[in-house]
Amino acid sequence: MSLAHPSAGTASQPLNFSKTLPIKAIPPLTTHCSNCNLRDLCLPCGMKPADVDGLDDLHFSRTKVKAGQALYHEGQAFRNIYAVRMGTFKSSLTLADGREQVSGFRMAGELMGLDGIANGAYASNSTALEDTEVCTIPYDQISALATNSTDLQQAVSRLMSREIVREHSLMMLLGSMNAEERLAAFLLNLSQRLKLRGYSPSEFHLRMSRAEIGSYLGMKLETVSRTFSAFQQQGILEVDKRHIRILDAAALTSVFEARVH
Amino acid sequence: MSLAHPSAGTASQPLNFSKTLPIKAIPPLTTHCSNCNLRDLCLPCGMKPADVDGLDDLHFSRTKVKAGQALYHEGQAFRNIYAVRMGTFKSSLTLADGREQVSGFRMAGELMGLDGIANGAYASNSTALEDTEVCTIPYDQISALATNSTDLQQAVSRLMSREIVREHSLMMLLGSMNAEERLAAFLLNLSQRLKLRGYSPSEFHLRMSRAEIGSYLGMKLETVSRTFSAFQQQGILEVDKRHIRILDAAALTSVFEARVH
DNA sequence: CGATGGGTTGATCCGTATCAACTGAAGTGG
DNA sequence: CCACTTCAGTTGATACGGATCAACCCATCG
C-alpha cells in the first residue's frame, strides 16, 4: 500500500511524487500498525498477532521527507522515534572538523532515533537519500502505551538490543577487514535486506554515493570505486554507476569469508 | 564497601582473594540497589531517589568471576543482564576464522549482556580481565518489575540507548583516525571513566594486553606498542608495561583533536 | 555553454602490517 | 634450584594496501 513495490526484480526509480503532485498540506494520515504491511519488520515485530490486533492504539502519523532533507539533526531535542516506511535514509555524525561520518543506512521497517533516548537529544543526523516516508512515533506516547503492554515493552527492548548487535557486527568490518572484504560484506548485507523486503537481492540501485559508502566502511571514495571495478573484472559484479548486479553471489560470499590471512 | 577503593591514586593490584581464601560456596549475597555505592553509575541511574528507595524489590545476587573466566559466551541462552561491581571485563566476538574481535571493556557500574535481548542469546562473549564481581540481573525479573515502574522502564531504555551511542563513537575512531589518534582517544576515554569512579585519571594500570587494545582499536599489537613508545618519547606518557601515567593530558587531547588533516 | 558533481583511473607516497629478533618475567618440571 | 618453556612486550627492517593527488569522463543544470 505504501511501500512502492519493486517492478520485476529491479529497484524502482525515485518517483518524486512530491513534484508531480504539489499537494503540500497532506492531511495527517495515520497508519495502524495492525494492518501495516511492514509489521513483520517494524515495531510490532515479534508481538503476538492477537496483541497487535488488540493494540488499536498503535497508530502513527506519516510524514514525507524529500531527497536530501534531514529528518533530525544531532543535538536536536529528542521527541520521536521514526520508522522508515519507504525509501532510504543515512545516519551520520558530524566530526569535530565538520566532516561527516556515515554510521548507517536505514530501509523500510527500520527504526531511527533510538540513540536519542539516552540523553534527550539525538546523537546523530538522519537524512533522506531519496524521497521517503516515515512513521512518527512520539516517545512519550509509546512509553505510555508500553506501561500497559508488556508485549510492546519487550518489542521495544528487542529492537534496541538489535541495534546494539548491529553496531557490533560493523565494528568487525572496520577492525579487521580489507577493502574488498568490506565492500563484499556491505553488498551482501544490502542484498539480504532488500530480499527481506521483497526486492531482488541480485540486482539493485544504490541510493548512496561512493563517498557515503566509503565513509561508512572506513575507506576513501576512490578505493570504493576501485574495488567495485575489481569485482567487475573478477566477474563477480556488473557495475554501472549506482546500478549493481551480483553475478556471482558465492564468490562475493567467499571474498567476505576469506578473512583468514 | 564492595568496590575496592584505589590507594592514593594508584590502581590496586589484583589481589586474588580466591587463592588466599579458598571459600567457594559463598552464601548468595544480594545487594540492594538503593544503598549500592554504584547506584549513580548503574541501573538506577537517573531514577528519582524516592523511587529508588521505594523499589526495595531492586536487589540482585552477587557473583565473583575470576581472572580469565568467561561470564557468558556468544550463542548461550540469554537469561541475565550483568552489572559490573568490581574489576574489568572485556566483550568480544569470535570471527569466522576463530580469531577474537574485542568489542569493548566494561568497568564498575556498566551493564553487560544487553545484546542478548534481541535474539534470546548473547551476541558476544564476556571475559573477566582480573578477579571481578558482578550483579546478576535476571531479565524476566527486571521486565516484571518494569511493568510496575515507569521509572525503571525508562532507566533501562536509557541505558540501552547509551549503549547504542557508545558504539557509534567507536565507529568514528575506526573509520577516520590513525594509530596515534586511536590510542589517544582510548586512553582519554579510560581516564575519564576511571575518574568518574574515583580513581586517578592520570595514573592507572591497564587490565588488558596490547593485543586486546589492538583488536579493540583495529590495529596490530606491534603498532599499539610503538604508539605507546612514541607518546613516551613525546613526553606525553610514562609507560612501564601496563602501568600508565599521563604526563601531558592537554597534548593527548590535542593529538585526538588533530584529526583534521 | 560553462559549471558542477559523481564517478573512474593512474601515479606516487605513507602508514601500518608483517616478519623477525630480542628482552624480561613468570611458570614448569626434573 | 636451575634449565626450559611460555608469554607479553619492544624494536627493527621490509612490504604492501590504501590514501593522496591529479587528470579525466560524463550527465545534469542553470
Strand order in the sheet with B89-94: B70-72, B125-128, B89-94, B100-106
User: In this structure, what are the phi and psi dihedrals at residue B30, rounded to the nearest 5 degrees?
Assistant: -125, 155
Q: What is residue A12's predicted lDDT score, i.e. its pLDDT?
A: 35
For A168, which residue in chain B has the nearest alpha carbon? B103
Which residues, in sequence order, are CB contacts of A89 under 8 Å at separation 6+?
A65, A71, A105, A106, A112, A126, A127, A128, A129, A132
pLDDT at A251: 95
Mean pLDDT, chain A, as a whole number? 84
d(CA B239, CA B242): 7
Instruction: Assign B37 to helix, strand or coil.
Output: coil
The fraction of chain B above a pLDDT of 70, given in percent, is 84
- The bridge status of strand B100-106 relative to strand B89-94 is antiparallel
| Contacts with A105 (C-beta within 8 Å, 6 or more apart), sequence order | A88, A89, A90, A91, A129, A190, A207, A208, A216
What span, in angstroms and rounded, lies between the C-alpha atoms of B186 and B198? 19
Complete edge-to-edge strand list for the sheet that includes strand A237-240: A203-205, A243-246, A237-240
C-alpha to C-alpha distance for A186 and B183, rounded to whole angstroms: 27
What is the pLDDT at residue B214?
96
Tens of pLDDT, residues B187-244:
999 999 999 999 999 999 999 999 999 999 999 999 999 999 999 999 999 999 999 9
Q: Residue A144 pLDDT more than 90?
A: no
- Per-residue model confidence (pLDDT) at position B239: 96
B223: nearest nucleotide, CA–C1' criterion: C16
C-alpha cell of B150? 515507569
Domains defined along chain B, listed by start: 17-171 (2.60.120.10), 176-260 (1.10.10.10)
**In the predicted model, is pLDDT for residue A170 greater than 80?**
no
Q: Is the pLDDT of residue B258 over 60?
A: yes
Average pLDDT over residues B238-252: 96
Contacts of B117 in chain A (CB under 8 A): 157-158, 160-161
Confidence category of residue A137, pLDDT binned at 50, 70, 90: very high
Cα–Cα distance measured from residue B110 to residue B184, given in angstroms and rounded to the nearest whole number: 22
Greater pLDDT, A188 or A98: A188
State, as a whole number of angstroms, the distance between the CA of B181 and the C1' of C16.
Answer: 14
C-alpha Rg value of chain A to the nearest Å: 19
Answer whether B130's CB lies under 8 Å from B62's CB. no
Selection from A172, A73, A66 nearest residue B95 by Cα: A172
Res. A256 pLDDT band, cuts 50 70 90: confident
Record: contact B168-A167, CB cut-off 8 A: yes
CB B127 within 8 A of CB B92: yes
Q: For residue A58, what pLDDT is reported?
A: 76
**pLDDT at A15 > cutoff 70:** no
Instruction: Note the strand D nucleotides within 7 A of protein beta carbons.
Output: 8-13, 17-22
Best CA proximity match to A104, nearest among A84, A119, A77, A78:
A84
The pLDDT, as a whole number, for residue B111 is 94
Which three cell numbers, joined as nine digits, stand for B121? 542469546
Q: Which of these, A221, A224, A216, A207, lies nearest to A102 by C-alpha position? A: A216
> For B14-70, how does the pLDDT look when each residue is reduced to its tens digit (9 = 90+)?
333 333 333 344 556 788 888 888 888 887 777 776 666 556 667 889 999 999 999
Strands B100-106 and B30-32: unpaired
Q: How far apart are CA A81 and CA A91, in angstroms?
A: 13
**What 3 state SS string does A207-224 have?**
CCCHHHHHHHHCCCHHHH
pLDDT of residue A20: 35
The Cα–Cα gap between B40 and B62 comes to 18
Residue A207 CA, nucleotide C3 C1', distance (Å):
25
DSSP state at residue A184: H
What distance in Å separates the CA atoms of residue A249 and residue B249, rounded to the nearest whole number? 49
To 10 degrees, what angle do helices A210-217 and A221-233 make?
100
What is the pLDDT, as a whole number, of residue A7?
36
* pLDDT category of residue A210 using cuts at 50, 70 and 90: very high
Question: Element (H or E) spanning A152, and its range?
Answer: helix A150-176
pLDDT at position B79, please?
A: 96
Q: Each residue of A27-74: pLDDT tens digit?
A: 567 888 888 888 888 877 777 766 665 566 678 899 999 999 999 999
pLDDT band at A205 (very low <50, low <70, confident <90, very high): very high
Per-residue pLDDT at B182 exceeds 90? yes
Most A-contacting residue of B161, B162, B217, B255 (CB-CB within 10 A), to test interface: B161
B31: closest CA among B67, B57, B54?
B57
The answer to whether B110 and B126 are in contact (CB under 8 A) is no
Q: Is the pLDDT assigned to residue A19 strictly greater than 50?
A: no
Contacts with B, A 79-108, CB within 8 Å: 93, 95-97, 99, 101, 103
For residue A3, is pLDDT > 60? no
Residues close to nucleic acid strand C (C-beta < 7 A): A 206, 209-211, 221-222, 224-226, 228-229, 239, 241-242, 261; B 178-180, 218-220, 222-223
Question: What digits encode the pLDDT tens for the residues B108-161?
Answer: 999 999 999 999 999 999 999 999 999 999 999 988 888 888 888 888 999 999
Kindly tell me if the per-residue pLDDT of A125 is higher than 70. Answer: yes
Q: What residues contact A207, with CB distance under 8 A and at least 6 apart? A: A87, A88, A105, A129, A130, A242
Q: Which of A9-18, A162-171, B43-52 has the lowest mean pLDDT?
A: A9-18
